[in-house]
């Protein structure tokens, strides 16, 4: 199978969606952030005149407009660029989009996707480095995809576009250069199906988004030390494939969670709470979370490095858990 | 003034205005007997909603607020299903999930009702965006109070609507005319520093008018022009419809301080109680509409009374229906978080 | 000691703060929501002319203004009324207030309190029933108090007012009628000191805010069945008194968490994750969370009741854990 | 035109303008050699910042944005500590925690710098609110780009400022005059449906003026009036200072497309390269200021060159200092989340 970059797979997915359905429109254009790949988006814009909207700097207004447009029958894919700007749109995402289907008794659907690049990108400092997926997961009514590979990003995006629900597309600029196999033929990845990114028997590493890549390299290092780690990637947080996670823990009996959210009430907290509630008797040791330290993200590279999850921290955590 | 319409159509409008008035009165009375929770009523603004929304066609969408009852009734909602929703019954428009704050009927063109002040502006703007991009000739109507102009979402929305020339009508119901600032010739609402609300709109190049929200003709004319502009691709319009807040709306919880409306106040000034004389004589749109109907020969006191009885009957039926309807089954609370679709197994 | 209502203790605290320090100003006035106690606030307003500000309906603007005012030397206590409106202010709370001290390298302080009434109040429906404290706990840089009694609300408020950090005052209208002892003399409750609201040896019930009251009544019911539950109230989430929580679990070996947040990534998730990480070997059974079901809050009373934590659900959870 | 000031004071202003220009040039050059990350430079806007902020006194507070370098330097920031911060060094103004986006110096009156567009408006408004309530005669200055007017926070802030007559100056630096908007594929640009930015302000009853941001006198006069108004309790003022975006700011990452500024372009037109002739002749505020200084006899080419060399020396010192400064100790990343105070043990 051909191998392409994550950024290419993402843009290919967007293109195919735009081609397949006239109702698909892009609102906002910084899908690829300020990375060197951003030219790919310029091409999309040129290929689909009138289908790519350039909003004002008004995240509340234009994300809300995407929700309204979805209600009226459009299938918008709206880009919030840096995840930190999603807070401006929280009243519309958390208090409107997530609630509308439910509070209308199922009358109204909100088929839209909102995309953002989360997490530490290097030098983003406190106001450009958020990982808001835990907050979104605490908001029932949103589907959440958090891909970690070229194959997943395209396949999940296709599924998200068919969904009649508002879907958060949790993305990460540090994934854009990841290379991997992507079929030429069309395919979709169902939501709610975790993927075992690496089979293993000694310990489970549970991670999503860019943290999967970190977990995979940690697993390689651990392999050299004779530890066979299984890397489980839920791929979507909502719906969540609990079974695959619980089965992996039932097999390995040990769990380390790798999560880029701040620790308190992060995605990792939910993973831990889930497992201790539903697989307590399988566990042979504490569940350890490798997360971003509970401090605002500092600018300086030495500080940033100290507070973010790293391969080394994952390795150390595993050794601690298994000792 | 009355809109220039046939007697039959005018009677239809009057019936809707009466339906709103009687619905809200029924609700306030009911709230004195059983716990209905907090709600907001549309008394005093009936003519705005009825005259404006009568012009809409199927497929046109309205996005309204916490003060939505009158809007739905103006587009023909069934008071029984409305009250059932307000009481949290399974037979209500939203199966009891929404309640008074979120009355919605997709079929009637109310796909989502936000009770967050300023919540409806981006939604309505977006619906217009969608219609525009889908090449439809439908229009989107954003119904909101003067208070929503204080939220930044208004500012962001009108900018988008203006830049994209969206088929959108901002219908701002300014019911704060008795506010202190306004009385002093200053602010039209308690907490906005602009002297005329339409001044806020002008910079965006969006046509904006101020009308008397109790004047059926003014409302209809303003709305006709706005809809024409929207349907022909000329972009959004802003209408400020002014009404004076019903005294029963001044307390935190609505109260029937003016009693149940005695329609004969329309033709017999002597029955108007002293305390609220000014409001009923000059600011009660329903009475004024009735008076104009009679003055212009479209109705007589008798026909009005007959119509009102019909309406009141309907409300009694609605009330019985709603009270007798069952609450939703508790376990169904877990349903409908997501629309079933490809991605959710 | 005299017994007064929670609402009275809260207002007494506000009054004393206004009296003691000219820099204390109230911004917003719905501290007591639409409850029957709201007249108490009207009195405060009359007693301190010029010290109570009535903002426009502009939560982003006026909460942001409170942050700016704090930077300039005021000590604002800003009221957001219903917690759901906090989303409008998220850009200023999450991305400004929480970060400023850190990202200026400690140069600037933001001594302000933001108050809101969270949770299910009965018929608030999806857009007026949020419990945003988990999202705030996922935001390093905010102190968080979540009182559950008249004594605590006044004592914690006094401490919050002395803090030089932005502090979330997580409040609940259903607490206003709770009655309890409050000293006439001035007192403060340090942040980071949990309170054992009821001693017990068989199981730990960990709860905050209004859920403490729920846990206490559940404990009474359990007592009748011979189960002696300990109710631990952390009182502040940031800083968190981990020791008291862990000690209780070390003693009882069983833990049920009562939390009004939606389950996924709620405050309860963090409690569970913390305990399984730091007290795994003390646990003899799964940790169970009694939380609000992961659905938008429905309006109808039957539905609302079904999804919210109740005394009965707590009792059932305890019986399940102990069986 | 030049502000009406003594030669000495004018030379002081020029020195600051040169410091900004040379600082930003140094930074852009440095970014060609080492990884500095993304940053925004103030080239082309120097005269606005220098002439406006020179009028402030100790205790007056400024709230600025991602494009803050020039503002801090205009109030006397040390370029060494600035560059150290931009490089993430422990010696920087914020100990390396803030970086270019959040340069702050409480001592110089920059207590918190927000890189969220529209982040500074509520903060600056609130600081003015605080000063007002504390009875201080200090003023608050909100420095922001035209893009921030698209955010709802602006709308909410100006309303509060107007209603409360706060001691606040909105200094909006509109550098988007040539922008075709994002449609042209450019990154930051004005996407606002209003024709004149000041039209947005008028409805709030806030005095608003538009000035040429490269005209030292216009900036100083406008700001003088605004500060007077603020200090005397008459409320906020809005100033739109217009500049044309420096060609080096048009790419996503700043680039020295115009080369390092050759000050002799101010007195010798022939050395101006054809490609950017128009910008340097009419839109380069620093060159214009120099030209006016010479024309009016406040300086000679020689004194200007001498001053510039002094400034360039300072920048070299700053660069060495910053490059040689250590990075913060990793473990210190966990400090300073909270100010130590009663409530945190
Ligand atoms: C975001 C938000 N803030 C505050 C409220 C509380 N609230 C409910 S109605 C209302 C007043 C609204 O005034 P206006 O928009 O003029 O509508 P009216 O009630 O006068 O019709 C407020 C502040 C809310 N629902 N949402
Ligand atoms: C809330 C938010 N949305 C988007 C951005 C990304 N962004 C950074 S600078 C910029 C353009 C700002 O334009 P303007 O305010 O005119 O300032 P200029 O850069 O032109 O000086 C944008 C959109 C941001 N930083 N914050
Ligand atoms: Mg109003
Ligand atoms: Mg600009």
Write out chain C's pLDDT in tens, 323 residues.
Answer: 999 999 999 999 999 999 999 999 999 989 999 899 999 998 999 999 999 999 999 999 999 999 999 999 999 999 999 999 999 999 999 999 999 999 999 999 999 999 999 999 999 999 999 999 999 999 999 999 999 999 999 999 999 999 999 999 999 999 999 999 999 999 999 999 999 999 999 999 999 999 999 999 999 999 999 999 999 999 999 999 999 999 999 999 999 999 999 999 999 999 999 999 999 999 999 999 999 999 999 999 999 999 999 999 999 999 999 99
B133 vs A: CB within 8 A: yes
The verdict on the CB of residue D70 being under 6 Å from ligand 2 is: no
Compute, in angstroms, the gap from residue B144 CA to the centroid of ligand 3. Answer: 8
Which residues in chain C touch residue D131, judged by CB atoms under 8 angstroms apart?
72-73
Tokens of A193: 């199906």
Is the complex ipTM more than 0.90?
yes
Question: Does ligand 2 come within 6 angstroms of the Cβ of D240?
Answer: no
Three-state DSSP class for D262?
A: coil
Ligand 2 contacts CB of residue D25 (under 6 A): no
Q: Which residue has tokens 């969206």?
A: B166
Which domain, by its residues, includes B53?
Answer: 7-255+308-326
Residue nearest to atom 21 of ligand 1 (CA): B145
Q: How many angstroms separate the alpha carbon of residue B146 from the centre of ligand 1? A: 9
Known active-site residue C277: no
Q: Is B192 in the pocket of ligand 1 (CB under 6 A)?
A: no
Nearest atom in ligand 1 to the alpha carbon of residue B66 is: 9
Interface test with B, best of C38, C41, C300 (most B CBs within 10 A): C300
D181 touches chain B (CB under 8 A): no
The DSSP symbol for D38 reads: S
Q: Give the pLDDT of residue B179.
A: 56
Q: Say if CB C318 and CB C256 are below 8 A apart.
A: yes
On whether the CB atoms of residues D257 and D276 are closer than 8 A, the answer is yes
Distance (Å) from CA D236 to ligand 1 centroid: 27
pLDDT at B189: 57
**Which positions in chain B touch D238 (Cβ < 8 Å)?**
none
Give the domain CATH number at D188: 3.40.50.970
pLDDT at residue number D187: 37
Ligand 2 atom closest to the Cα of residue D118 is 1
Largest CA distance in chain B: 67
Average pLDDT of chain A to the nearest whole number:
98
| Pair type for strands B61-63 and B140-145 | parallel
Per-residue pLDDT of A128-163, as tens digits, reads 999 999 999 999 999 999 999 999 999 999 999 999
Chain A residue numbers with beta carbons less than 8 Å from the beta carbon of C94 are: 87, 130
- The pLDDT value given to residue D185: 44
Q: Cβ separation of C67 and D123 shorter than 8 Å?
A: yes
Catalytic member of A16, A128, A242, A247 = A128
Q: Listing from the earlier edge strand, what are the strands of the sheet with C255-262? A: C195-198, C229-233, C203-207, C255-262, C288-292
Record: contact D337-C102, CB cut-off 8 A: yes
The preferred substitution site among B37, B119, B144, B147 for testing ligand 1, maximizing ligand atoms within 8 Å of CB, is: B147
The total number of structural domains in chain D stands at 1
For residue B117, report the distance from its CA to the centre of ligand 1, in Å. Answer: 5
Answer whether residue B183 shows pLDDT above 60: no
Give me ligand 2 centre to Cα D175, in Å.
12
Mutate to test the pocket of ligand 1, among B66, B122, B150 (most ligand atoms within 8 A of CB): B66
Within-domain flag for D276: no
pLDDT exceeds 90 at position B178: no
A224 is catalytic: no
The side-by-side arrangement of strands in the sheet containing C167-171 is C52-53, C24-27, C75-82, C113-117, C167-171, C143-145, C236-238
Closest in A88, A261, A299 to C91, CB measured: A88
Please indicate, yes or no, if residue D288 is contained in any of the structural domains: no
Q: Which residues of chain D have pLDDT under 70?
A: 178-190, 341-345
- Chain A interface mutation, best of D39, D64, D88, D146, highest count of A Cβ atoms under 10 Å: D88
Classify residue B95: in a domain, yes or no. yes
**Chain A, chain B: beta-carbon pairs less than 8 Å apart:** 198
CA A148 to CA A6: how far, in whole Å?
Answer: 9
- Tell me whether B193 touches chain D (CB under 8 Å): yes
CA distance C18 to chain D (A): 13
Answer whether residue B342 is part of any domain. no
pLDDT at A317: 98
Identify the structural domains of chain C with CATH numbers, from first to last: 2-182 (3.40.50.970), 195-322 (3.40.50.920)
Pocket test for ligand 2, best of D38, D45, D66 (most atoms within 8 A of CB): D66
Ligand 1 and B146: CB distance under 6 A: yes
pLDDT of residue D190: 67
**Confidence (pLDDT) at A223:** 98
Pocket lining: C88 vs ligand 1, CB cutoff 6 Å: yes
Evaluate whether residue D338 is within a structural domain. no
CA distance C42 to B305: 44
A261 touches chain C (CB under 8 A): yes
**The two structure tokens encoding residue A302:** 């030495």
Distance, CA of A146 to CA of C303 (rounded, Å):
31
Q: Is B194's Cβ below 8 Å from some Cβ in A?
A: no
* Residue whose C-alpha is closest to residue C257's, from C226, C211, C223: C211
Give the chain C residue nearest D124 (alpha carbons): C68
Q: Is residue D289 a part of any domain in this protein?
A: no
Among C217, C163, C214, smallest CA distance to C192 is for C163
Give the C window 101-130 contacts with D, CB below 8 Å. 101-109, 111
CA distance B222 to C174: 46
Domain presence at residue D286: no
Residue tagged 């119509």 (tokens): B307
How far from the centroid of its chain's Cα atoms is residue C220's Cα?
Answer: 23
Question: Do the beta carbons of residue A178 and residue A233 sit within 8 Å?
Answer: no
Tell me if the bond preceding A239 is cis, omega within 30° of 0: yes
**Paired tokens of B26:** 């029924």
Give the 3-state DSSP-derived string for D67-83, with helices as H, strands as E and coil as C: CCHHHHHHCCCCHHHHH
Q: Cα-flanking dihedrals φ and ψ of residue C289, to 5°? A: -105, 130
Query: Which of C33, C57, C80, C117 most suits a substitution to test ligand 1, by most atoms within 8 Å of the C-beta?
Result: C57
**How many other β-carbons are positioned within 10 Å of the β-carbon of residue C242?**
15
pLDDT in tens, A3-33: 999 999 999 999 999 999 999 999 998 999 9
Q: In the prediction, which pLDDT does B342 show?
A: 47
pTM reported for the whole predicted model: 0.98
Instruction: Say what the pLDDT of residue D217 is.
Output: 98
Contact B99 C34 (CB under 8 A): no
DSSP code string of B205-231:
T--EEEEETT-HHHHHHHHHHHHHHHH
Query: Is the CB of residue A298 less than 8 Å away from at least one CB of chain D?
Result: yes
pLDDT score for B22:
98
Task: Single out the residue of B335, B248, B307, B224 nearest to residue B10, CA to CA.
Answer: B307
C-alpha D148/C-alpha D117 separation (Å) is 5
Cis peptide before B314 (omega within 30 of 0): no
- Give A-chain residues touching D96 at CB under 8 angstroms: 298-300, 302-303
Please tell me if the CB atom of residue D200 comes closer than 6 angstroms to any atom of ligand 2.
no
Which positions 54-83 of C are in contact with A (Cβ < 8 Å)? none
Q: Is residue D293 part of a domain?
A: no
**Using the beta-carbon criterion (under 8 Å), do A123 and D337 form an inter-chain contact?**
no
Active-site residue (options: C8, C12, C25, C59): C59
Residues 181-220 of A with CB under 8 A from B: 188, 190-192
For residue C203, give how far its alpha carbon lies from the nearest alpha carbon of chain D (Å): 29
């Amino acid at each position: 199978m051909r191998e392409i970059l994550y950024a290419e797979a993402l843009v290919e997915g967007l293109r195919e969606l735009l081609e397949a359905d006239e109702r698909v429109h892009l609102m906002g254009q910084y899908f690829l952030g300020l990375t060197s790949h951003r030219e790919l988006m310029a091409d999309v814009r040129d290929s689909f005149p009138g289908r790519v909207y350039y909003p004002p700097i008004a995240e509340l207004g234009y994300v809300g407009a995407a929700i309204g447009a979805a209600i009226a029958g459009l299938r918008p894919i709206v880009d919030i660029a840096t995840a930190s700007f999603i807070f401006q749109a929280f009243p519309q995402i958390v208090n409107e989009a997530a609630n509308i289907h439910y509070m209308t008794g199922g009358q109204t659907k909100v088929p839209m996707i909102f995309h953002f690049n989360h997490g530490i990108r290097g030098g983003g400092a406190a106001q450009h480095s958020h990982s808001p997926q835990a907050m979104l997961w605490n908001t029932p009514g949103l589907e959440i995809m958090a891909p970690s590979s070229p194959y997943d990003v395209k396949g999940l995006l296709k599924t998200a576009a068919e969904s009649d629900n508002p879907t958060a597309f949790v993305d990460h600029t540090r994934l854009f250069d990841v290379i991997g196999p992507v079929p030429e033929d069309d395919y979709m990845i169902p939501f709610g199906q975790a993927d075992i990114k690496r089979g293993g028997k000694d310990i489970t590493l549970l991670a999503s988004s860019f943290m999967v890549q970190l977990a995979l390299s940690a697993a390689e290092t651990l392999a050299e030390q004779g530890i066979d780690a299984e890397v489980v990637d839920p791929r979507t947080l909502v719906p969540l494939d609990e079974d695959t996670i619980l089965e992996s823990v039932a097999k390995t009996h040990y769990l380390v969670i790798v999560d880029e959210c701040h620790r308190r009430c992060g995605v990792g907290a939910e993973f831990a709470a889930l497992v201790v509630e539903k697989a307590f008797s399988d566990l042979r040791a504490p569940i350890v979370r490798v997360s971003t330290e509970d401090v605002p993200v500092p600018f300086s590279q030495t500080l940033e490095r100290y507070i973010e999850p790293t391969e080394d921290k994952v390795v150390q955590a595993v050794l601690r858990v298994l000792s | 003034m009355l809109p220039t319409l046939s007697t039959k159509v005018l009677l239809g409008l009057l019936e809707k205005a009466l339906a709103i008035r009687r619905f809200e009165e029924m609700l306030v009375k009911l709230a004195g007997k059983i716990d209905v929770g907090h709600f907001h009523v549309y008394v005093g603004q009936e003519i705005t909603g009825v005259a404006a929304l009568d012009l809409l066609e199927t497929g046109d969408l309205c996005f309204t607020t916490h003060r939505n009852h009158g809007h739905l009734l103006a587009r023909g909602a069934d008071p029984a299903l409305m009250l059932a929703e307000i009481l949290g019954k399974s037979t209500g428009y939203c199966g009891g999930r929404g309640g008074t704050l979120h009355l919605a009927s997709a079929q009637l063109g109310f796909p989502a009702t936000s009770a967050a002040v300023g919540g409806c502006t981006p939604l309505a703007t977006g619906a217009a965006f969608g219609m525009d991009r889908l090449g439809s000739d439908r229009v989107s109507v954003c119904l909101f109070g003067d208070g929503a102009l204080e939220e930044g979402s208004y500012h962001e929305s009108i900018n988008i609507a203006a830049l994209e020339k969206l088929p959108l009508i901002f219908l701002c119901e300014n019911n704060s005319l008795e506010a202190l600032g306004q009385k002093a010739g200053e602010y039209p609402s308690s907490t906005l520093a602009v002297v005329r609300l339409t001044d806020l709109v002008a910079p965006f190049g969006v046509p904006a008018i101020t009308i008397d929200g109790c004047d059926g003709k003014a409302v209809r004319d303003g709305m006709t022009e706005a809809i024409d502009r929207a349907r022909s691709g000329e972009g959004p319009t802003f209408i400020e419809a002014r009404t004076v807040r019903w005294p029963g709306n001044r307390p935190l919880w609505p109260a029937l301080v003016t009693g149940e409306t005695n329609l004969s106040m329309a033709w017999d000034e002597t029955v108007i109680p002293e305390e609220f004389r000014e409001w009923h004589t000059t600011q009660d749109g329903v009475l004024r509409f009735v008076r104009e109907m009679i003055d212009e020969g479209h109705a007589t006191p008798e026909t009005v009374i007959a119509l009102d009885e019909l309406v009141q009957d309907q409300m009694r039926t609605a009330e019985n229906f709603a009270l007798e309807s069952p609450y939703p089954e508790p376990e169904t609370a877990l349903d409908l978080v997501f629309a079933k679709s490809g991605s959710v197994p």
